[in-house]
Homo-oligomer: A and B are copies of this chain.
């Protein structure tokens, strides 16, 4: 059985799921022993530990000219001591160009099969990747497992399926037969999906695999080669992905340099050099807006970005304020607000929030919300796992600046003890009340666990502010609590114009921060928070070019 036959049904199901958009996941998100095996967790942790203090020698790419690495665990504040082979930009590019001809000429079927096989192999390393993600990003274990393992793999599969489907959109060959009256003009036509060249994937420190693999697999399925440039502080998770990809490539007789790891250091980053190289024609990027804008403005490249935004929650009316407060408290604690989907600005009308038990005043809601946050922060069984750790010291430093903003502090941020990692860099959310007039305070992303409660004149003003912020500064998520159908439609319509998805009336175990593969588009691409979307057709079609070839049909020439 060919590798393609082995994975054909996975591919078919994934393409089908793209259209249905009902729940679909190939990789179980539940890290229980029943699903992944009794020893999976311990084995994974052991494998993670075996990397510490060593050279990462699993890659099949030719050795570089030096070894680099400066990852540090946000949980222990100690160096991981892992080093990775670094090479010059010219070396990386020339290897990639060499590998390009081989990869672009094999069929989409074979490419899909190779890529899916790599995900199957990675499944056996989800726990190892989880610990690697924890100790680089600072995510709690559950998020690290789910986001960097099964969810990332499903997002990669989604990109493969979207790309694969696009590659089938135009027939490989047809006979074109045009009646001209007394005779026909008959041409044999062919079309080829020509990949663009080398794709650069620039990773971020908070979601090292989840944000990187869609672009990586999208570039690869469409026949491009790839260079993965992880964030210098979060290399290991992607190093494992690249290593598994290279192993499958080599086993299939293909050049492992079709995908390469390009590690660098904070002091000497190579992203610009790579990005500006004329042979790099695709760039996938997650990170700050300044660098993202610089990349988007590079000439002659297709650039896919997820940058920063300002996410709003519009509070108008609700059935159960306690459930809402609990749901939102979890949303703001989750990974200490370091998710790009974390809500920051909570708009509450000065007349209060309508509930079945009467109107909840601004102050009453504020009390309920901060109470729910405090209660979760003070729950030692939950808080350390939900909060995780702060990825880097700069975020902590900025957090202490936040309390100086013009506004009233309703809840102070504090360190939260982690029983397993006493040195962990932690912070609970700070909650500030900010006047609607102080627009400069809430018109930017305050990265980390920062909650702003903003009193507006009315829900109409709340909607207007949320929409305008999204249009001008970007937004990746939006929450809305509203019981009136007409108002709900207004919110959907207006936030839609700002290209911002809205989660309405969430309570219980689903949070506005979460986006599911094969169903929710992550980032829409339509506002300044990013120009790309996981995974819409635009995300893949810009990675190749349809080129046609034609010739008088042989039969007709007789």
Q: Which residues of chain A have a CB within 8 Å of any CB of chain B?
A: 19-23, 30, 166, 169-171, 174-181, 185, 187, 189-192, 194, 196, 297, 299, 492, 495-497, 499-510, 516, 519-521, 524-526, 533, 536-538, 541-542, 545-552
- Can you list 30 A-B pairs with a CB-CB distance of less than 8 A? A19-B170, A21-B174, A21-B176, A22-B176, A23-B178, A166-B537, A176-B516, A185-B509, A185-B510, A187-B510, A190-B492, A191-B521, A495-B547, A496-B547, A496-B549, A499-B545, A500-B547, A501-B549, A501-B550, A502-B549, A502-B550, A503-B550, A507-B552, A519-B548, A521-B546, A524-B547, A526-B545, A537-B537, A538-B542, A541-B541
The complex places the Cα of A533 from the Cα of B193 at a distance, in Å, of 13
Among B23, B187, B545, which residue has its beta carbon within 8 angstroms of that of A524? B545
Other A-B pairs, 20, CB within 8 Å; known A23-B176, A185-B508, A503-B551: A22-B176, A166-B537, A180-B509, A185-B510, A187-B510, A189-B519, A189-B520, A190-B492, A192-B492, A194-B497, A194-B499, A501-B549, A502-B550, A507-B552, A508-B552, A510-B552, A519-B548, A524-B547, A526-B545, A538-B538
Q: Return chain B residues, CB-CB under 8 Å to A509.
A: 180, 185
CB contacts (< 8 Å) of A536 on chain B: these are 541, 546
* Chain B residues whose C-beta falls within 8 Å of the C-beta of A178 in the assembled complex: 23, 516
Question: Which residue, of A187, A499, A549, has the highest number of chain B Cβ atoms within 10 A?
Answer: A549
Q: Given A21-B170, A171-B20, are A504 and B551 neighbors across the interface (CB < 8 Å)?
A: yes
Q: Is the CB of A23 within 8 A of B177?
A: yes
**For residue A21, which residues in chain B have a CB less than 8 angstroms away from its CB?**
170-171, 174, 176, 189, 191
Q: Which residues does chain B contribute within 8 Å of A196, judged by CB atoms?
A: 526
Contacts of A504 in B (CB 8 A): 549-551
Q: Which 5 A-B pairs have the closest CB atoms?
A: A526-B545, A504-B551, A23-B178, A501-B548, A499-B545
Please indicate the chain B residues that have their CB under 8 angstroms from the CB of A547 in the complex: 495-496, 499-501, 521, 524, 526
Is B550 in contact with A520, judged by CB distance below 8 angstroms?
A: yes
Among A19, A178, A299, the most chain B Cβ lie within 10 Å of the Cβ of A178
Complex Cα gap A299–B538 (Å): 19
Q: In the bound complex, what is the Cα–Cα distance between A149 and B185 (angstroms)?
A: 21
A299 to B129, CA, bound (A): 39
Determine the distance from Cα of A30 to Cα of B182 in the docked complex, in whole angstroms: 13
* Candidates B174, B190, B496; contact of A20 at CB < 8 Å: B174
Q: Which residues of B contact A23 (CB under 8 A)?
A: 176-179
CA A348 – CA B196 in complex, angstroms? 29
Nearest B-chain residue to A180, judged by Cβ = B509
- Chain B residue with Cβ nearest A190: B492
Instruction: Assess whether A526 is in contact with B194, with CB atoms less than 8 Å apart.
Output: yes
Known: A22-B174, A552-B507. A533 touches B520 (CB 8 A): no
- B residues in contact with A552, CB < 8 Å: 505-508, 510
| Given A19-B169, A19-B171; A524-B546 close (CB under 8 Å) | yes
Instruction: Give A510 Cβ to nearest chain B Cβ, in Å.
Output: 5
Known: A22-B177, A23-B177. A548 touches B526 (CB 8 A): no
* Cα A533 to Cα B169 with chains together (Å): 15
Contacts of A505 in B (CB 8 A): 551-552
Interchain CA distance A504-B548 in the complex, whole Å: 11
Specify which chain B residues have a CB less than 8 angstroms from the CB of A20 in the assembled complex.
Answer: 171, 174
A299 to B519, CA, bound (A): 30
A327 vs chain B, min Cβ distance (A): 10
CA–CA, A292 to B543, complex, Å?
Answer: 22
A519 proximity list for chain B (CB < 8 A)? 174, 176, 189, 548
The smallest beta-carbon distance between A509 and chain B, in angstroms, is: 6
Q: Which residues in B have their C-beta under 8 angstroms from that of A538? A: 538, 541-542
- CB nearest neighbor in B for A293: B299
Q: Are A492 and B549 in contact, CB atoms less than 8 angstroms apart? A: yes
- When chains A and B are docked, how far (Å) is the Cα of A545 from the Cα of B532? 10
* A181 CA to B502 CA, complexed, in Å: 26
Name the B residues within 8 Å of A541 (CB-CB): 536-538, 541
Q: How far is the CA of A521 from the CA of B525 in the complex (A)?
A: 26
| A546, B19: Cα distance in complex, Å | 13
Instruction: For A503, give the chain B residue with the smallest CB separation.
Output: B550
**A166-B537, A192-B496 given; A22·B175 CB < 8 A:** yes
Q: Give the Cβ gap from A30 to chain B, nearest Cβ, in Å.
A: 7
A533 → chain B closest CB, angstroms:
7
Cβ of A169: which chain B residues have Cβ within 8 Å of it?
19, 537
- Chain B positions within 8 Å of A550 at CB level: 501-504, 520
- Shortest CB-to-CB span from A107 to chain B, Å, is 15
Residue on B nearest A478 in the bound complex, by CB: B549
Establish whether residues B492 and A30, one from each chain, have CB atoms under 8 Å apart when the complex forms. Answer: no
A262 to B299, CA, bound (A): 30
Interchain CA distance A169-B191 in the complex, whole Å: 23
Residues of B within 8 A of A499 (CB): 194, 545, 547
In the bound complex, residues from chain B placing their C-beta under 8 Å from that of A506 are 551-552
Expressed in whole angstroms, the Cα–Cα distance for A185 and B25 within the complex equals 14
Which B residue sits closest to A175, measured CB to CB? Answer: B22
Task: Give Cα A378 to B525, complex, Å.
Answer: 57
CA distance A187 to B515 in the complex (A): 12
Whole-angstrom distance between the alpha carbons of A432 and B547 in the complex? Answer: 30
